[in-house]
Structure 1
Amino acid sequence: MDIIRNSQSVCYCYNQLAQMEWKYIWSTIQVKIASSDMLSIVFPMEESNCQYPETILAFIKCTIHTFWKPKESNDITININPYEKSMCFYVKSAKKNFAYTLRVNRNVVDTKLFLVFVTGIVLFFKAKALSRSAVFYYSAGTLLGILMTLVFFLLFMRRYIPKCSTFGALMVGCCFASFYLICQLMEEIKWLWHENKTFILGYILTMGAISFAACYRHGPLVKERSINLLMWTLRLLSLVMIYFGVTTAQVAYAVMVLLISSQGLQYSFRAFCHVGRKIKEYSKSKKLMIKHITEEEYREQAEIETAKALQRLREFCCSTDFPSWLTISRLQYPKKFAEFVLGASHLSPEEIRAHEEQYGIGGWFLEEQLFSSGESQEPNPQQEEVVEIQEVYQREGEPL
């Protein structure tokens, strides 16, 4: 029945759907109860199940229901998961004669559930990047300081708590207390905003400034251990959001397994690629590749190596181990040697020109070596002069 009008405390029950349908994985059944009198809702089945809770989630729900009793109201909305166990509730009022109207609507796609599910998946994949982002660090720290002040200050007092067990117990207590306070404030958020707008804005600005200053003083996370801890905390939070973002636990478990497996496959693929590269490098090192170079490559390498050798020679001459006075006393042109050490060329323009005339294209020495026979070779005075110059340079220690 879509609309029920009644004036008595009647127990209403919802029986779960027998077969799961994919189009209803984000659907909810919404029950709205409206009356001119103040009403309250009682869940007798949950109260009986709290005597022997079977799971941790059931224990958490029982604990929340123990401390957080829904207040009386003339407009009550209940969201029911279509694939949960059968749920019963009955409407209760302080008056004996009261009238109320109960409406049942089915949302095929609950926007809140869908957004929570998508946000959880995005957060899981972006956790690594967000954990290294300074903007996310300051934003999350400021928001945490505003919404969960106890948890925020406990995190910054971590260094003064020596035992991890003590810190864990305090963290669990602060999380439950902050969650309970947020739930209580959410029920009265409209009234609080209407009556105490100035105090709420003052609290947000004050705590936001204090939280941002504390985060700025501490600075973004630098240690890899802290960054990895934040990354896995965000991923755990994303898995919780995925679990509560769908109406069927089977779908949530399947999505969580796929996400965790994707990370495992990523690491396995990286390890496989690393091993493949190592094997490839090892196989290449076993095979000696001999490659012949061209004449142009030979000249290019000769110029490069000559420049390197000359630079090493200059560095050695500038070092303290070099016998400078002894070398200068033996040189015929010490000024030329000093200019070479300071960065000048080791050859003068006259020597370069003489080398080109002798060994360049069209040089007399090269032509004589090519076209003269080996049997009738007469001594050349110019050739003897070149040999004498080379001997003099070698004896004096100057490069030619």
Structure 2
Amino acid sequence: MFNFIFIFNTLTLIQFSSAAYGSTVHYLEHGETFHFEPYSKGLELQTFCYKGRKKSIIYIWQSVLFQLNHPNEDYTLYEGSTPENVELEYSKNSHFWSTNIFMVKQKSFKINPFNTTCIGVISGDSYTVQISVINMDFWKLLMLGIGTFIFLSADTLSKNTFFHYVTGITFGVCASVLVLIYFISKIFPRKPFMYGVLGMGWSLVIYISRLLWENIQVVVKYYKFYVTWYILFTGLVSFILCYRWGPVENQRTINLIKWSLQCVGLCLIFNSSSYQEAATAQIVILLISYHLPQKWKLAPKTYWKKKFPPKIKLLTNEEYYQQGVVETAKALNSLRQYCSSPECNQWETVLKLSDVKRFASFMEGNSHLSDEEVLEYDSFIQNLTDDEEHNELTDEED
């Protein structure tokens, strides 16, 4: 037994020493690229650090991208705030029996631009490491916009039928993996094992979802037929269940959905920036503006209108005439529609009229004015125009 322990400790020490040999620290800045070439056949730990920058409001949506160009998946990453923390993480996980089935290897990921971050890479192959600074991260801006929209629209979305079906179908497709795990657990006779599988169900769902997200292109390319039919089948079952129970009608349940959506929106806003103080300030401003009385929100607009009233544009004679023709035609058409509708009592209306034939002609689409009225109106306009011209000539002579 003593010999086994001695051999075991010796192998562990040899493994740690061989990997730690040649361990160096490289401080990289924006645009810098480091090419690593192994000096021996053993594994070598190389630590790459980004010092970070001082926090400023102009860098609120900045991101730093760590890119590892490796020919295969035979590598391990360790993250820490200092090189010593990276070596400590490596020493904790350097034993050959310590494996994590939920670890998904990423060759490109974002780090905090305001903190010192160190990434340890252990590999026996050649690879390249690069640091890129994104001054305006589009995804963070998109996350901020989506979070703000969800928070402000939570009241409407919680009562929307379409949103009810979409979320129900989406949740059903994702949760169907958990149902699949449940039926698989029925194969095993021992109950403790089944409870363990169910307890790990959501962890497996998250792990599988992460794997699918990391390899979405490969899955869609080679398993497109199965993925399509799986989503269609589970989506159809989810739609049937949502249709059977119908949209939520209980007001307390609607309130819970609304508050949940608002919490999701605030979480998205908080995670939309690595500058947590600025993100918190955005949340505070949003909450204050959301709960302000309506008259307080309209006060700046009212004050601006009083201080700078809008200029009123007067109509010309031609514009006035055209507008009168258009509006008169609309009003006459609306009157014809009303008189033809069941809301109007035609016989009572006819009894009040002095010229029934003229009313009938108007309902058939003819003009509502007689020839004498048109002639009288034209004469009045002509006289009015002559008087205006005469007054203008008189003013000019004076």
Residue 348 of structure 2 aligns with which residue? none
Cα deviation for residue 223 of structure 1 reads 0.7
Cα deviation for residue 92 of structure 1 reads 2.0
Residue 33 of structure 1 aligns with which residue? 68
* TM-score w.r.t. length of structure 1: 0.52
* TM-score w.r.t. length of structure 2: 0.52
Residue 199 of structure 1 aligns with which residue? 226
- Count of residue pairs the alignment pairs up: 233
Q: Does 1:264 align with 2:291?
A: yes
Residue 147 of structure 2 aligns with which residue? 120
Q: 1:181 aligns with which of 208, 211, 214?
A: 208
Secondary structure, in 3 states, of the residue corresponding to 1:16?
Answer: coil
Cα deviation for residue 70 of structure 1 reads 2.6
Cα deviation for residue 263 of structure 1 reads 3.3
The AA in structure 2 aligned to 1:87 is: T
- Coordinate RMSD, CA, aligned: 3.4
Residue 158 of structure 2 aligns with which residue? 131
Kindly name which structure, 1 or 2, has the bigger radius of gyration based on alpha carbons. Answer: 1
Structure 1 unaligned residues grouped into runs of 5+: 52-64, 154-169, 271-400
Cα deviation for residue 226 of structure 1 reads 0.8
Contact 1:39 1:91 in 2 (8 A): no
Cα deviation for residue 141 of structure 1 reads 1.0
Contact 2:79 2:117 in 1 (8 A): no
Q: 1:77 aligns with which of 103, 108, 114?
A: 108
Q: Does 1:87 align with 2:130?
A: no
CA distance in 1, matches of 2:161, 2:146: 20
CA distance in 2, matches of 1:262, 1:175: 37
Q: Which deviates more, 261-270 or 235-244?
A: 261-270
Structure 2 unaligned residues grouped into runs of 5+: 1-27, 39-43, 89-98, 181-196, 298-398
Contact 2:47 2:120 in 1 (8 A): yes
Q: Deviations over 1:203-235 (max 9, x none)?
A: 110111011111111101111011101000100
Contact 1:41 1:70 in 2 (8 A): no
Q: Deviations over 1:222-258 (max 9, x none)?
A: 1101110100010011111111111211111111122
Residue 14 of structure 1 aligns with which residue? 50
Contact 1:137 1:220 in 2 (8 A): yes
Q: Deviations over 1:248-282 (max 9, x none)?
A: 11111111122222333349989xxxxxxxxxxxx
Q: 2:80 aligns with which of 34, 39, 45?
A: 45
Secondary structure, in 3 states, of the residue corresponding to 1:102?
Answer: strand
Residue 243 of structure 2 aligns with which residue? 216
Q: 1:240 to 1:145 in 2, by over 3 A?
A: same
Contact 1:141 1:152 in 2 (8 A): no
Q: 2:128 aligns with which of 101, 105, 109?
A: 101
CA distance in 2, matches of 1:134, 1:15: 50
Cα deviation for residue 176 of structure 1 reads 4.6
Q: Deviations over 1:82-124 (max 9, x none)?
A: 02x322112222xx4x221222211111111111111000110
Q: 1:359-370 maps to which residues of 2 (within 5 A)?
A: none
CA distance in 2, matches of 1:67, 1:240: 28
Q: 1:70 to 1:176 in 2, by over 3 A?
A: closer
The AA in structure 2 aligned to 1:5 is: H
The AA in structure 2 aligned to 1:244 is: N
The AA in structure 2 aligned to 1:116 is: M
Residue 252 of structure 1 aligns with which residue? 279
The AA in structure 1 aligned to 2:49 is: C
CA distance in 1, matches of 2:104, 2:61: 25
Q: 1:204 to 1:37 in 2, by over 3 A?
A: closer
Q: Deviations over 1:355-393 (max 9, x none)?
A: xxxxxxxxxxxxxxxxxxxxxxxxxxxxxxxxxxxxxxx
Q: 1:45 to 1:104 in 2, by over 3 A?
A: closer
Question: In percent, how many aligned pairs have the same letter?
Answer: 24
CA distance in 2, matches of 1:101, 1:116: 30
CA distance in 2, matches of 1:219, 1:210: 14
